[in-house]
Amino acid sequence: MNGRFITLEGIEGVGKSTNLRFVADLLQDRGHEVMVTREPGGTPLAERVRDILLDHADEPVPPLAELLLMFAGRAIHLENQIRPALEQGCWVVCDRFTDATYAYQGGGRGQSAERIGELERWVQREFRPDLTLLLDADPAVGLGRVGRRGESDRFEIERRDFFSRVRETYLDRARAEPSRMRVIDASLPLEAVQAEIRTEINKVL
Ligand code: TMP
C-alpha cells in the first residue's frame, strides 16, 4: 500500500476533533493527499452501524453484541473506504480504530483481550495503523468538556471509573507498543499538544 494509516485515540473530551484536523493539515502541507474518517462509522453503511451503537434504545445492547457491531462496522469501513484510499496513495487519518475496542469493550466493558485479538486478526488480518497518537488526560478533564457539549450518547453516560479503566487500557497498549503508539499529554495547552503531535508526525514523514 502506498499511503499511511494514522489513528487518533483517547477518552472523550481530550481534543481529538481539533487535533485530527491539525494532523490532516500538517500532512496536506507536506503535499500528501489526505482522507479524514472516523470509527465507528466512516461510510454510509458503517454510519448506520454507528447509530445502533451510540443511540439510546429501549432494548439493551449486550457487551458481546457491542463488540461484534464494532468489528462489523470496521469490516465495512476497511474494505469499502480505508484500503482503497491507501491503495491509491492517500494518507488516511482516522478518529479511533481498534485500540478503542481494546480500551472500551475490553477495559471498559470487560470483554477479554484474547477475544478482541481474535476478531482483530479475523477482520484485519495483518492490517494495523502505521502510527497511533494517544491523547491522554485524566477523565475528570475530558468529561468536564463533554458535559458542556449537550446530549450524551450511550458511552458518554458512563461513570468516571469506566473511563479510568478505558484510559488505563490505552496506556497499557502504548507501553506494549511504544514505537507505533505515542502518548501525547492532552492536559497541556493546545500549542504544546500540537508541538508534540508535529514532532511525532515528522518522524513518520
Ligand atoms: P466518538 O464520539 O469519539 O466519535 O466515539 C464514539 C464512541 O464510540 C466513543 O465513546 C468510543 C466508542 N468506541 C468504542 O467503544 N469502541 C470502538 O472500537 C470505537 C471505534 C469507538
CA of 104 to the centre of ligand 1 (A): 8
> What Å distances lie between residue 155 and 11, 28, 61, 122, 144, CA to CA?
10, 32, 12, 25, 15
State which ligand 1 atom lies nearest to the alpha carbon of 156: 10
Band of pLDDT at residue 149, cut at 50, 70 and 90 = confident
Tens digit of pLDDT for each residue in 156-174? 888 889 999 999 999 999 9
The whole-angstrom separation of Cα 204 and Cα 189 is 24
Band of pLDDT at residue 202, cut at 50, 70 and 90 = very high
Strands 5-9 and 34-38, bridge-based pairing: unpaired
3-state secondary structure of 81: helix
